[in-house]
Amino acid sequence: MVVYGSPTAQQFANITAAFNAKYPGVTVQYTSYQPPQAVPKINSELATQGYSADIAFQAATTIYPLEQSGDAMTYVSPYSTGFPKAVLDPLSESTPIIQIAIGWVYNTQLISPANVPTTMAQVANSQFKGEVVMSDPTTGTAFTQYWASLEGVLGNATVVSFLQALKNATSPITILPTTTSCATDVAGGAHAICLSAYMQDAAPDIQAGAPLKFLNITGLPIMITPSNSMIIKNAQHPNAAKLLTDFMASPAGQVAWGNIDVRTPANPNVTAKWSFTSELKNFDPGAGTQVYFPSPSVAAAASAWAKTFIALGY
Amino acid sequence: MTELAKPGSRVSIPILVLAAGVGVLGLFIIYPIIFTIVSSFWSGEPGLPGHYTLGNYVALLGDKETYVTVVNTFFQAGSSALIGIGLGTLLSIITVRTDTPFRKALFYLPYLPLAFPVLIANQAWIYLFEMRAGLMNLVFKDVGLSSSTFNIYSWPGMIFASGMALTPICYLIISAAMRNMDTSLEEVSRASGSGVRSTLVRVSLPLMVPSILSAFLLAFTLSAGSFETPTMIGVPAGITVMMSSVYTNADAISPPNYAAASTESVLLLAIIMAMVYLYNRSLRRSKSYEVISGKGYSSSRVLALGRWRYVSLAIILAYLVVAIGLPLFTITLLSLVPIWLPNALFARVSLKNYVFLFSNSSGAYPALLNSLIAAVAAATVITAVALVVLFVSRRTTMRGRGLLEGLAMFPISMPSLIIGFGLLWAFLTIKTGLYGTLGVMVIALTVALLPQGVRTMSGGVVQIQTDLQEAARASGANAATTIRRIFLPLMRSSLVAAWLYVFIGSFTALGAVLFLQSENNQLFSTLLWSYWSSGNPGSSESFAAGCVLMLIILMAAISVMILVQRRLERAPRGAAGSSPAS
């Protein structure tokens, strides 16, 4: 069975080991592919061979567009029925396995406690001119979908006026190629605020002693996106793919995922080294509303949203 | 030019095997090019529904930003190539043509930065010269030189990073050719009363024109076709060049826009082909640059600099500190800490990242082995093929010989990511049975790096006078014998340099192999990329530890090459060289 996933091969080796302990006869060949490579690889293999890997294990921001393109073989693990409804695939074609939160972070040495912004308007202030770094919102990927999803929660006027004000007040805004480099940049003191970082980027830095904290912004929800196991259409080993998906969604599989650093299981009821609730409590004590994204409509319109952000000057 | 292989003459089996190999290679070179050109006329993504259209070109050429991007590309690639050529030529003159102290020991050291893949070097430059948190800038501020801070996220920063990456390549080509230059011409100049500067400017440098032009073309092309610096430094600086646009369309946006990326790639291809054409035209009078003849040439004498020899020593030492010392220090330090905190760098130094890297779970061992095998195989194949290609195109009157070199040079005109995607389609549609194996990686690396092999060796071929091969033909030698007895001995430096350069390029190549990786053929470069791009805890520090390991391996390879080169220098020049030299 072949899996194309976004975690590193070393992380997935833990899952394969736990899976093979239960199902020793099933060979798992895992290759780490980030979304920009995974999607064209899968599409090209489907177009030429008629089949691709058996499983795509990617963030929902990548999985939902694949599903909308008809690349999935519908399968939802029965184990996921116990998961919170919000984490489930709205298209009912794949199974959520882990979940990732996104927040805004700042450097505690560059922003004094008295100046830590608590509202979006305070972030979009000239005191942070040249201090803001962000992942590119114009690519149609996770961060475009993040802002587009925020628009659905806060309203178009709030998000668009914030982005315009941010651009006007804090330019130049530095755009970095990866979310990791955004968090690392702020941790190292190059800039003061990162919009936005995955919790998996910032949490280890904070643990390692970086002067980094999540910003608690009034009214700004914590946005969460799951990573799903999607069986690819015409999979050569569909039964093995279902077996692995079921295992990853099962309590044993969820514990195996939760024991990998900053990989929080989709099932909140398992006890593991990392759980979403404890992670949020540790790193974002004031975390307010939690909103899962993207909606299928946002995922489908990601390119259009990207153009919107370009029009805003990003 | 002479025709070596006369009609009816016996063709050796090795030549036939090589010809068959070149044919297969040609197929895999042509496929991605055709694929990209066809994609540029297709309305949708490859393999998905669509129709043929000129719309992609209309959109590209109708956008004012395109012209800004093209100008930016010329400026960035041209400026960084000039820096590479300037520094490469200066370093070559110092180590080859002057009596600078320790010049023989110093000669090989400028090769060492070749061991820095652009991705790694850029990471180091960012940590050193980020405006506020860069180590060097912090040092400047601490010693009261705040006005000397240098912002890596700027035009000068981008050109500096590109130029530093190109300098060792330019040095490799120019110094190899300079070592083969007949110094008796300089002697005549000196005997006629010319000073050192006048001799360098009026004799030495003009004789180096083919190699310098060749190096410039290669440097310009590599710079224009590289995505690392434009994305890592250019994008944060708000600078868009063609490659950052291609990268964005092909690999950063969702869904990828291959139609746009392909169209931009074809435009880049046209620009670079025009450059190659101009280069070839400039070499039409290449006979005037043939400086290795059968009539007694010497490359042993150097120019005496007097007291300026210590200035030249200082120049080369300064270069080595900046090009090797600073990035090596930075990456090594990064590999020893859990997180990069400029104000507390040595607070938590440990070997934790190396413990992980050398553990079985890191995947480093099989990836390293795969990379070594693939790089050795690709470098060997490329060196052999490039020699034959250059011999046929430059030293025979065979019909279509120019096409052969053009074909070999094609892949350099295409961004590596685009070549990589085209190769994915090539291996998916041409059933070789190699998909998912290491063989695919070897072919992909060979296709992607063949131009570097050809361009690195071309200056060396041009320098060899035709009278030597005419003598060989008169003695009854066929093409294979001429290559073996004349070209191989006289081109030893160029061959070793080309092999090493391609080996390093193969070891560090990413774009061409990124789409072809699987669990069974993972290379060390793709493994490091997965560390860097995954955003997982500790991944950038594991990446740094892997980078240090890669640097050690590549520097060891360069050291081996140095030993080989020195042994070759001590050995007689072989059948062709020994006679005239003596």
pLDDT in tens, B71-84: 999 999 999 999 99
Of the ranges A119-123, A178-182, B492-496, B553-557, which is most confident? A119-123
Run of H or E residues at B384: helix B364-395
Asked if A137 is an interface residue toward chain B (Cβ–Cβ < 8 A), one would say no
State the smallest CA–CA distance between residue B520 and chain A in angstroms: 8
* Whole-prediction pTM: 0.83
Check: CB of residue A270 under 8 Å from CB of residue A285: no
Please tell me the distance from the alpha carbon of residue A88 to that of residue A61, in angstroms, as a whole number: 13
DSSP assignment, residue A197? E
Of A7, A43, A184, the CB nearest to B48: A43
* Cβ <8 Å between B530 and A32: yes
Check: CB of residue B340 under 8 Å from CB of residue B127: yes
Mean pLDDT of B131-157: 90
Asked if A118 is an interface residue toward chain B (Cβ–Cβ < 8 A), one would say no
Q: Per-residue pLDDT for A191 more than 90?
A: yes
Q: How many alpha carbons lie under 13 Å from residue B325 in its C-beta half-sphere?
A: 8
DSSP assignment, residue A220? P
CB neighbour class for B57 (10 Å; exposed up to 12, middle 13-18, buried from 19): middle
Cβ-Cβ contacts under 8 Å for B95 (sequence gap 6 or more)? B103, B106, B107, B110, B175, B316
* Cβ <8 Å between A189 and B133: yes
Q: How many alpha carbons lie under 13 Å from residue B351 in its C-beta half-sphere?
A: 5
Strands A222-231 and A55-59: antiparallel
* Cβ <8 Å between B428 and A45: yes
pLDDT at B581: 27
Please tell me the distance from the alpha carbon of residue A148 to that of residue B466, in angstroms, as a whole number: 67
| DSSP class per residue in B488-522 | HHHTHHHHHHHHHHHHHHHHH--TTTGGG--TTS-
pLDDT at B13: 67
Q: With bands split at pLDDT 50, 70 and 90, how would you rate the model's confidence at B576?
A: very low
Which has more confidence, B156 or B47? B156
* Cβ <8 Å between B533 and A178: yes
Cβ-Cβ contacts under 8 Å for B244 (sequence gap 6 or more)? B227, B230, B231, B234, B235
**Least CA distance to A134: which residue of chain B?**
B236
Q: Per-residue pLDDT for A100 more than 90?
A: no
Asked if A9 is an interface residue toward chain B (Cβ–Cβ < 8 A), one would say yes
Mean pLDDT of B406-422: 83
Q: With bands split at pLDDT 50, 70 and 90, how would you rate the model's confidence at B283?
A: low
* Cβ <8 Å between A187 and B45: no
pLDDT at A176: 85
Chain B interface mutation, best of A1, A2, A6, A8, highest count of B Cβ atoms under 10 Å: A8
pLDDT at A166: 95
Task: Give how far Cα B395 sits from Cα of A173, B2, B3, B277, B390, Å.
Answer: 56, 7, 8, 18, 8
pLDDT at B38: 92
Q: Per-residue pLDDT for A287 more than 50?
A: yes
Please tell me the distance from the alpha carbon of residue A253 to that of residue A261, in angstroms, as a whole number: 15
State the smallest CA–CA distance between residue B20 and chain A in angstroms: 27
Alpha helix stretches (DSSP H) within B535-573: 539-570
Asked if A41 is an interface residue toward chain B (Cβ–Cβ < 8 A), one would say yes
Q: How many alpha carbons lie under 13 Å from residue B576 in its C-beta half-sphere?
A: 27
Q: Per-residue pLDDT for B438 more than 90?
A: yes
pLDDT in tens, A23-51: 998 999 999 998 888 988 999 999 999 99
pLDDT at B2: 39
Please tell me the distance from the alpha carbon of residue A249 to that of residue A256, in angstroms, as a whole number: 10
Of A175, A189, A208, the CB nearest to B236: A175
A 140-169: CB under 8 A from B:
140-141, 144
* Cβ <8 Å between A141 and B253: yes
pLDDT at B156: 97
Mean pLDDT of B376-384: 94
State the smallest CA–CA distance between residue B351 and chain A in angstroms: 15
Mean pLDDT for all residues in chain B:
83
Strands A95-107 and A222-231: antiparallel
ipTM over 0.90: no
Which has more confidence, B440 or A263? B440
pLDDT at A17: 95
Q: Per-residue pLDDT for B60 more than 50?
A: yes
Of B258, B342, B534, the CB nearest to A8: B534
Chain B interface mutation, best of A31, A200, A303, highest count of B Cβ atoms under 10 Å: A31
pLDDT at B1: 40
State the smallest CA–CA distance between residue B424 and chain A in angstroms: 8
Q: Per-residue pLDDT for B477 more than 90?
A: no
pLDDT in tens, B237-277: 999 999 889 888 887 887 788 889 899 989 988 888 788 77
Of B132, B514, B536, the CB nearest to A190: B132
Q: Per-residue pLDDT for B578 more than 60?
A: no
* Cβ <8 Å between B537 and A32: no
Q: With bands split at pLDDT 50, 70 and 90, how would you rate the model's confidence at B288?
A: low
Please tell me the distance from the alpha carbon of residue B571 to that of residue B168, in angstroms, as a whole number: 26
Chain B interface mutation, best of A58, A180, A274, A307, highest count of B Cβ atoms under 10 Å: A180
* Cβ <8 Å between A46 and B47: yes
**Least CA distance to A190: which residue of chain B?**
B133
Q: Per-residue pLDDT for B298 more than 70?
A: no
* Cβ <8 Å between B537 and A6: no
Q: Per-residue pLDDT for B540 more than 60?
A: yes
A279 token code pair: 């992670």
Chain A residues within an 8 Å CB radius of B535: 178-180, 198, 200-201
Q: With bands split at pLDDT 50, 70 and 90, how would you rate the model's confidence at B127?
A: very high
State the smallest CA–CA distance between residue A13 and chain B in angstroms: 7
pLDDT at A58: 95
pLDDT at B536: 65
Check: CB of residue B100 under 8 Å from CB of residue B106: yes
Mean pLDDT of A292-308: 87
Q: How many CB pairs under 8 A join A and B?
A: 170
Residue among A97, A58, A43, A15 at smallest CA distance from A234? A43
Q: Per-residue pLDDT for B436 more than 50?
A: yes
List the single range of A80-84, A223-227, B14-18, B439-443 with lowest mean pLDDT.
Answer: B14-18
Which has more confidence, B574 or A71? A71
State the smallest CA–CA distance between residue A156 and chain B in angstroms: 22
pLDDT at A98: 95
Asked if A6 is an interface residue toward chain B (Cβ–Cβ < 8 A), one would say yes
Chain B residues within an 8 Å CB radius of A29: 518-520
Residue among B220, B215, B173 at smallest CA distance from B73? B220
Of B255, B361, B534, the CB nearest to A13: B361
**Least CA distance to B227: which residue of chain A?**
A177
pLDDT at A40: 87
Please tell me the distance from the alpha carbon of residue B334 to that of residue B545, in angstroms, as a whole number: 8
Mean pLDDT for all residues in chain A:
90
* Cβ <8 Å between B252 and A141: yes
**Least CA distance to A35: which residue of chain B?**
B254
Q: Per-residue pLDDT for B194 more than 70?
A: yes
Q: Per-residue pLDDT for A150 more than 70?
A: yes
Of B342, B535, B536, the CB nearest to A188: B342
* Cβ <8 Å between A189 and B132: yes
Question: Is A257 strand, coil or helix?
Answer: helix
pLDDT at B397: 75
Mean pLDDT of B396-414: 78
Q: Per-residue pLDDT for A241 more than 90?
A: yes
Which has more confidence, B222 or B200? B222
List the single range of A102-106, B287-291, B412-416 with lowest mean pLDDT.
Answer: B287-291
pLDDT at A309: 84
pLDDT at A284: 62
Which has more confidence, B582 or B422? B422
CB neighbour class for B145 (10 Å; exposed up to 12, middle 13-18, buried from 19): exposed
A 217-256: CB under 8 A from B:
none
Q: With bands split at pLDDT 50, 70 and 90, how would you rate the model's confidence at B541?
A: confident
**Least CA distance to A260: which residue of chain B?**
B537
Question: Is B128 strand, coil or helix?
Answer: helix
Of B254, B362, B535, the CB nearest to A198: B535
Q: With bands split at pLDDT 50, 70 and 90, how would you rate the model's confidence at B295?
A: low
Mean pLDDT of A229-251: 97
Of B153, B421, B534, the CB nearest to A6: B534
Check: CB of residue B535 under 8 Å from CB of residue A201: yes
**Least CA distance to B154: which residue of chain A?**
A174
Chain A residues within an 8 Å CB radius of B133: 188-190
